[in-house]
A and B are shown apart, each in its own frame.
Chain A
Amino acid sequence: MSAIVLLLLGLGGMAAGYLFYSRFIADRIYRLDPNYRTPAHEYEDGVDFVPTNRYVLWGHHFTSVAGAAPIVGPAIAVIWGWLPAFIWVVFGTIFFAGVHDSGALWASVRNRAKSVGALTGEVVGRRARTVFMIVIFLVLLMVNAVFGVVIAKLLINNPGAVVPVWGAIAVALVIGQLIYRRIIGLGVVSVVGVIALYSLIYVGPKVPIALPEQVMGLSASASWILLLFAYAAIASLLPVWMLLQPRDYINGLQLFVGLILLYGAVLIGNPTVVAPMINDNVPAGTPSLLPLLFVTIACGAISGFHGLVASGTSSKQLNKETDARFVGYFGAVGEGSLALAAIIAATAGFATLADWEAVYTAFGKGSLTAFVDGGATILAGGTGMDVGVAATLLTVMAALFAGTTMDTGLRLQRYIFQEWGEIYHQKWLTRPLPATLLAVASCLLLAFGAGGADGSGGLLIWPLFGTTNQLLAGLTLLVITIMLVRRGRPAIYTLAPLVFLLVMTLFALLIQLKSFYDKQDWFLLGLDVVVLVAALLVTLECAAALKKAFREPVEQA
């Protein structure tokens, strides 16, 4: 099977989804109105509410939702063969993610640009809002723990990437100062920044850095995890303009450069997909495809995190309501194309089937490492780049994405702790430092609790992360569905994905519960029970709220 065919089929399918299905959803279901006065105009204040060019807004939306998660999920899920992952990513993007993301934008724009959290409270009920907060906290906790483990693995796998990955932070710090103090303009800064970053990537493999195997009784992996969290804690306490903003900008550039390079290399080199279409020979202990596929790939097919971005920031800047289709739906298509690139890298980047099987020896293996190694082979074959440099380039890209998610995630977790401190009158908890330390401690507990002293098994919680992310998406879909029902419009296009997600999520949690019990892994079993309780609460909320909504008379056409 040629990778070009896979690429064209996937991109073609998602493009058709954007051209036809999203038009249908926007015109007939959400009925986006070009004359509706969006909150960006209604409450324009030059700070939060600013009507923004739709291409720029799409750029943000896309780069904020696309990170390491749409790479990790597909790169794990190809263990069942390339076809299931491919179908779920393409159809998920068309019928789930696009509808969910543009719907979240629409729902927020029609409700004074409120966030999904606030909307859940208003549209569904106060109890649902509490559940929402808990689910968000679980999502952040798991994503931070997993990404810490994943970056540590990447740095050990490719010691040549250590210099550019940490060097990129220095580059970002300098860029941040240059722009904030208006020393030079953005154009020059971008060119200089990109040159600096790529020089580091070129130099990196020549000066590999590996941590000693044991430092004070800690393995190299554990030391990296601790270092990464120390970094993320400091980064999340710094003012955003200093590090987060320039890093986000560099990541955005990297995302486009990386995607163009990878797709270009596939088109030039035409690698062969060596992984089986459907893997009959999965390693022992691999859970069944149904339902685990649907929680292993969350970002890239549908992800609740998008709803947070769409309703948190994008909806306040939407110039016209009809832009929701381009920004929301096409943003999801962008993320789908990143997931597709990850599938191709992790299935076509190996010389033979035996090589591929040597990487995918157990469930949770492969992931970012397979993406980096496979992608590097494709890049080297297509562009003639040195394999070491190509691997470093992809490692830096993946590590920067994951790192930015980590420090944003810690920042958000800190806000949640601070909010809890205020609700429960714990003055000490409302301060940034103790709240950050508590957030870091909870993530470390999870990373090491799930993975043992060296944190190597941390990827076991990946499907659990997927489940919580799907629960979040379920809550957003619930809000949209209720709004549609109240307006007397067909709700099936959001209700069907909602039901599918909830069924798969509950099913996956039960399957995993049994597997953790069989392995006598009490830590993960406990975590699974927590998520299961949250999932049941979400399901009950959905059932109650929908029953009520269908009984109520239609409010407006």
Chain B
Amino acid sequence: MGNRILGALRRLSELGTLYYNAPYRAAIARAKRDEEDLFMLLVFSEMMGIPNPAAWSTLELQPLLMDRFHQWHTRMGMERSPLDHFRCC
């Protein structure tokens, strides 16, 4: 009995979350992507000639962001990597 009530509550909460999120999925995904693009710009800023005081830390992140870097530059309208020393495709 208790389990069934708990199960029903859990189901209700799932439906509620769906109700809360569904209408805004697209807008939020877009906002998240914009935030990520800004982050990419910060991480790769030195290579584009923008001084970055945190270059030591962001340098370590670059290999981790390789996949996303490719997606990013294609989304920004550049078919090939825009950076001379940083080839991903």
Chain B interface (Cβ < 8 Å from any Cβ of A):
9, 12-13, 15-20, 22-29, 31
Task: Indicate which residue in B23, B27, B28 contacts A64 across the interface (CB closer than 8 Å).
Answer: B23
Assuming the A-B contacts A50-B25, A240-B24, A241-B24, are A59 and B31 also in contact, with contact meaning beta carbons closer than 8 angstroms in the complex?
A: no
Assuming the A-B contacts A185-B13, A186-B17, are A60 and B23 also in contact, with contact meaning beta carbons closer than 8 angstroms in the complex?
A: yes
Q: Assess the A240–B28 pair: CB atoms within 8 A.
A: yes
Assuming the A-B contacts A47-B29, A185-B13, A186-B13, are A60 and B24 also in contact, with contact meaning beta carbons closer than 8 angstroms in the complex?
A: no
Q: Residue on A with the closest CB to B9?
A: A187
Assuming the A-B contacts A240-B28, A241-B28, A241-B31, are A187 and B23 also in contact, with contact meaning beta carbons closer than 8 angstroms in the complex?
A: no
Assuming the A-B contacts A186-B17, A187-B13, A190-B16, are A50 and B22 also in contact, with contact meaning beta carbons closer than 8 angstroms in the complex?
A: yes
Is A252 an interface position by the 8 A CB rule?
yes
* Chain A residues whose C-beta falls within 8 Å of the C-beta of B16 in the assembled complex: 186-187, 190
* Chain B residues whose C-beta falls within 8 Å of the C-beta of A245 in the assembled complex: 20, 23-24
Assuming the A-B contacts A185-B13, A186-B13, A187-B16, are A52 and B22 also in contact, with contact meaning beta carbons closer than 8 angstroms in the complex?
A: yes
Q: Assess the A240–B25 pair: CB atoms within 8 A.
A: no
* Chain A residues whose C-beta falls within 8 Å of the C-beta of B19 in the assembled complex: 56, 59-60, 249, 252
Assuming the A-B contacts A55-B15, A56-B15, A186-B17, are A240 and B22 also in contact, with contact meaning beta carbons closer than 8 angstroms in the complex?
A: no
Q: Residue on A with the closest CB to B17?
A: A186
A45-72 CB mask vs B (1 if < 8 Å, else 0) is: 0111010110111011000100000000
Smallest beta-carbon distance B64→chain A, Å: 23
Q: Assess the B22–A60 pair: CB atoms within 8 A.
A: yes
Smallest beta-carbon distance A359→chain B, Å: 36
Residue picked from B9, B15, B23, B26, most chain A C-beta under 10 Å: B23
**Given A59-B19, A190-B16, 12 extra CB contacts under 8 A:** A48-B25, A53-B18, A56-B22, A60-B23, A186-B20, A187-B12, A239-B31, A241-B28, A245-B23, A248-B23, A252-B19, A313-B23
Is A512 an interface position by the 8 A CB rule?
no
Smallest beta-carbon distance B49→chain A, Å: 25
Is A196 an interface position by the 8 A CB rule?
no
A:307-357 near B, CB below 8 Å: 313, 317
Measured in the bound complex, the distance between the Cα atoms of B21 and A248 in whole Å is 11
Smallest beta-carbon distance B22→chain A, Å: 6
Q: Assess the B20–A179 pair: CB atoms within 8 A.
A: yes
A:31-52 near B, CB below 8 Å: 46-48, 50, 52
Smallest beta-carbon distance B53→chain A, Å: 27
* Chain A residues whose C-beta falls within 8 Å of the C-beta of B25 in the assembled complex: 46-48, 50
Measured in the bound complex, the distance between the Cα atoms of B85 and A261 in whole Å is 67
Residue picked from B15, B22, B27, most chain A C-beta under 10 Å: B22
Q: Assess the B18–A52 pair: CB atoms within 8 A.
A: yes
Measured in the bound complex, the distance between the Cα atoms of B25 and A190 in whole Å is 19
6 smallest CB-CB distances across A and B, nearest first, come from: A240-B27, A47-B29, A245-B24, A187-B13, A56-B18, A48-B26
Measured in the bound complex, the distance between the Cα atoms of B26 and A252 in whole Å is 20
Measured in the bound complex, the distance between the Cα atoms of B16 and A60 in whole Å is 11
Measured in the bound complex, the distance between the Cα atoms of B61 and A530 in whole Å is 58
Smallest beta-carbon distance B38→chain A, Å: 14
Smallest beta-carbon distance B44→chain A, Å: 25
List 12 contacting pairs A-B, 8 Å CB cutoff, sorted by A: A48-B25, A50-B22, A52-B18, A53-B15, A53-B18, A60-B19, A64-B23, A186-B16, A186-B20, A187-B12, A248-B23, A252-B19
Smallest beta-carbon distance B82→chain A, Å: 24
* Chain B residues whose C-beta falls within 8 Å of the C-beta of A47 in the assembled complex: 25-26, 29
Smallest beta-carbon distance A293→chain B, Å: 33
* Chain A residues whose C-beta falls within 8 Å of the C-beta of B12 in the assembled complex: 187
Smallest beta-carbon distance B41→chain A, Å: 19
Smallest beta-carbon distance A179→chain B, Å: 7
Smallest beta-carbon distance B9→chain A, Å: 8
Q: Residue on B with the closest CB to A316?
A: B26
Q: Residue on B with the closest CB to A55?
A: B15
* Chain A residues whose C-beta falls within 8 Å of the C-beta of B18 in the assembled complex: 52-53, 56
Measured in the bound complex, the distance between the Cα atoms of B16 and A264 in whole Å is 24
Measured in the bound complex, the distance between the Cα atoms of B13 and A186 in whole Å is 7
* Chain A residues whose C-beta falls within 8 Å of the C-beta of B20 in the assembled complex: 179, 186, 245, 249
Q: Assess the A317–B17 pair: CB atoms within 8 A.
A: no
* Chain B residues whose C-beta falls within 8 Å of the C-beta of A187 in the assembled complex: 9, 12-13, 16
A180-206 CB mask vs B (1 if < 8 Å, else 0) is: 000001110010000000000000000
